[in-house]
Amino acid sequence: MSHRPAGPGCIWVEPWENTEVKLSGGEIIIQFLKDEGVEYIFGYPGGAVLHIYDAIFQQDAVQHILVRHEQGAVHAADGYARTTGKAGVALVTSGPGATNAVTGIATAYMDSIPLVVLTGQVISPFIGSDAFQEVDAVGITRPCVKHNFLVKDLHDLIPTLKKAFYIATTGRPGPVVVDIPKDITDPNIKIPYDYPHTIEMRSYNPTLKGHLGQINRAVEKILSAKRPMIYSGGGVVLGNASEQLIEFTRLLGSPITSTLMGLGAYPATDRQFVGMLGMHGTYEANMAMHECDVLIAIGARFDDRVTGDVKQFCPHATIIHVDIDPASISKNVTVDIPIVGDIKHVLTDMNLALNASKKKPDQAALKKWWSQIEKWQAKNCLRYDRNSALIKPQFVIEKLYEVTQGDAFVTSDVGQHQMFTAQFYKFDKPRRWINSGGLGTMGFGLPAAIGVQLAHQDATVACVTGEASIQMCIQELSTAKQYNLPIKVITLNNRYMGMVRQWQEFFYESRYSHSYLDALPDFVKLAESYGHVGMRIEKPEDVEGALKEAFAMKDRLVFMDFVTDQTENVYPMIATGKGHHEMHMSPDRELA
């Protein structure tokens, strides 16, 4: 894809060429993105970005993906970023383009995803005059970006773009917005272009190496643990530290759990993995949290879905916390041994120290600890009714796992289907489970799958969704058609906003206020009208066959509408304000 364009419109500058070439702002943006190694821009045009779109038209080194809604552009860039680790790039116009992008930006912000979002702005002299399609994009996005910029001078454009990528991808990653007034991209005003390979910022220097004194303190504590527990999070994925985490966990011989965001960083099929923790985590993971004596939190931020009641959080444990963001440490739960640094660096040092230490983990204590954990595991907390005449959502995910041999990239929307996927699809590799955890944005799944499929063109990509969530960005079926993306959409159609219905059942005496979805479209016809294949599956015995058939269609998007049991709830569950040891199990298997 990255061949050099021919023809007179070519703006490319190769290193051996005379670098005295001058480019306009619009051309600079595209040339810069190419030099930065950007493959895709997810975008949607409009007046304020037309100069940029004209520069896009004149080249084909950076491919523009035309979405159908700016929210979709940002989610697609986000999906791309989550699965590759590179910054995702979105381009939207001023005013409504920028406001439509905000949900996507906030989604990425909450999950610390590196994005560079370019927003068009009215021409500089018009700023502040309530001009046509003017919004204060910098002001609106300020609370949900890692940083943002307004480019006031063409000469600032190149350093600003460089800073944007640098800030987005280093330290604790996050979205960066660059607001670009239209006059900055004027095709008639050109300046010399030179790609800056590095940038220095005196105000921004993320800490990478952990403090060795703290690391040694932590190692000492870990080696004297009787009931150690690892609580790993999205930071392990973001920091590409799976390998180090696996070695660390092996050295300790301890159980390990993961947050929703960390799934895949440690292989779910490994015997030391005790499943996800938190509100819908496993009984064994949550009980092990409650009973452990040393907790090692790695790249996790003690979210309220995870901690439950903080007063009852890990009551017996000394807490060690590794995080690159000092503000994550002791924010919700007071930590005993904080280590600020990049996980890969810190775990490498910890593993060295563990290997070098004469003291080894207490095997007798571990044996006892594991036999306790096995008792909790024996409760089989994820059990569900396998003899139901209705399709159980859990069953679909189990079959999805089997049919894709656990090797798919799976995105999801938000709700029960998201939790079932987290519980039943055993991710063994990082960057394969793509979902919105922090903001919980319905509508994320399909556009994210577009970004993922573009990043891995030959891979199997599934989007698990609900009939409510999918309708929030369903227009992106059109984008998937345009770029021939063979995503498999797995809709667990319970005719309810299931997660909302579940809360209403538990906490509002089953008053199902506006959680029922009437007047659903015929998803099969809908998919077909977009040019895709649609399937409706109504019986449990058809599930596996249908999945096989769909996944065999390697070059088609297949929209699978599974009609599932409307009454199924996600178990186990910790109600808000309860402790880890106060889990609810499914009614037919309530613990004694």
Ligand X SMILES: Cc1cc2nc3c(=O)[nH]c(=O)nc-3n(C[C@H](O)[C@H](O)[C@H](O)COP(=O)(O)OP(=O)(O)OC[C@H]3O[C@@H](n4cnc5c(N)ncnc54)[C@H](O)[C@@H]3O)c2cc1C
Ligand Y SMILES: Cc1ncc(C[n+]2csc(CCOP(=O)(O)OP(=O)(O)O)c2C)c(N)n1
Residue nearest to ligand X (CB): 234
Q: Which two tokens stand for residue 225?
A: 């643990």
Residues 405-424 that bind ligand X (CB under 6 A): 414, 418-419
Is there a catalytic annotation at residue 70?
yes
Active site residue 63: no
Work out how close the CB of 215 gets to ligand X at its nearest, in angstroms, rounded to a whole number: 13
Residue whose token pair is 């698990």: 464
Per the listing, tokens 């040891």 go with 581
Q: Measure the CA–CA gap between 79 and 107, rounded to whole angstroms.
A: 11
Which residues, other chains included, contact 84 with Cβ-Cβ below 8 Å and sequence gap of 6+? Answer: 431, 455
> Which of 210, 255, 406, 438 is the binder for ligand X (CB under 6 A)?
438
- The answer to whether residue 498 forms part of the interface with Mg ion (CB under 5 A) is yes
Contact between residue 111 and residue 234 where contact means Cβ atoms under 8 Å apart: yes
Cα 531 to chain centroid, rounded: 28
Enumerate residues 200-229 that contact other proteins by CB under 8 A: 201-204
- Would you count residue 150 as binding other proteins (CB under 8 A)? yes
Of the candidates 258, 252, 249, the one whose C-alpha atom is nearest the C-alpha of residue 231 is: 258
When binding is defined by CB under 6 A, the residue of 176, 215, 279, 287 that contacts ligand X is: 279
Residues between 513 and 552 with contacts to ligand Y, criterion CB under 6 A: none
Nearest to 208 by CA among 324, 339, 325: 324
Site for Mg ion in 460-479 (CB under 5 A): 466, 468
The interface partner of residue 322, options being ligand Y, Mg ion, other proteins, none and the CB cut-off 5 to 8 Å by kind, is: none
Q: Which does 414 bind (CB under 5 to 8 A by kind): Mg ion, ligand Y, other proteins, none?
A: ligand Y
Catalytically annotated residue among 58, 63, 133, 312: 133
If one counts every other C-beta atom within 10 angstroms of the C-beta of residue 483, the result is 14
Radius of gyration of the chain (CA): 25
Helices (H), 36-69: 50-57
Q: How is residue 270 annotated by DSSP?
A: S
Show the DSSP H helices in 66-225 as ranges: 70-84, 96-110, 137-141, 157-169, 212-223
133 is known as an active-site residue: yes
Q: Which is nearer to other proteins, 238 or 285 (CB)?
A: 238
User: How distant, in Å, are the alpha carbons of 34, 159, 225, 587 from that of 307?
Assistant: 43, 41, 21, 23
In what side-by-side order are the strands of the sheet with 40-43?
A: 63-66, 40-43, 88-92, 115-121, 175-181, 147-150
Partner from other proteins, ligand X, Mg ion, none binding residue 143, C-beta < 5-8 Å depending on class: other proteins
User: Of the two residues 418 and 504, which places its CB atom closer to ligand X in the complex?
Assistant: 418
Asked if 175 contacts 108 with a C-beta cutoff of 8 angstroms, the reply is yes
Say what the alpha-carbon torsion angle 87, 92, 96, 99 is, to the nearest 10 degrees: 10
The rounded distance, in Å, linking the Cα atoms of 344 and 528 is 46
Residue 506 is a catalytic residue: no
497 near ligand Y, rule: CB under 6 A? yes
Nearer to other proteins, 4 or 155 (CB): 155
The answer to whether residue 119 forms part of the interface with ligand X (CB under 6 A) is no
User: 147 or 426: whose CB is closer to other proteins?
Assistant: 147
Given the residues 419, 499, 560, 583, select the one marked as catalytic.
499
284 binds ligand X (CB under 6 A): no
Indicate the residue type of 470: I
Compare residues 376 and 425 and give the one whose CB is closer to ligand Y. Answer: 425
Angle at which helices 343-356 and 212-223 pack, to 10 degrees?
50
Active site includes 182? Answer: yes
For 521, the token pair is 């479209």
Q: Which is nearer to other proteins, 67 or 167 (CB)?
A: 167
**Binding string, 395-414, against ligand Y, x = CB under 6 A?**
------------------xx
Sequence-ordered strand ranges (E) for 284-367: 294-298, 318-323, 337-340
Q: 116 or 150, CB closer to other proteins? A: 150
**Which residue among 103, 328, 394, 515 contacts ligand X (CB under 6 A)?**
328
Residue from 3, 62, 14, 71 nearest 38 by CA: 62
Among 181, 239, 264, 361, binds ligand X (CB under 6 A): 239
Residues that bind ligand X (CB under 6 A): 111-112, 172, 233-235, 238-239, 259-262, 276-281, 299-301, 303, 305-306, 323-325, 328, 342-343, 414, 418-419, 437-438, 440, 499
Catalytic machinery residues: 70, 132-133, 182, 499
Residues that bind Mg ion (CB under 5 A): 466, 468, 494, 498
Residues that bind other proteins (CB under 8 A): 138-139, 142-143, 146-147, 150, 152, 167, 201-204, 325-327, 330-331, 334
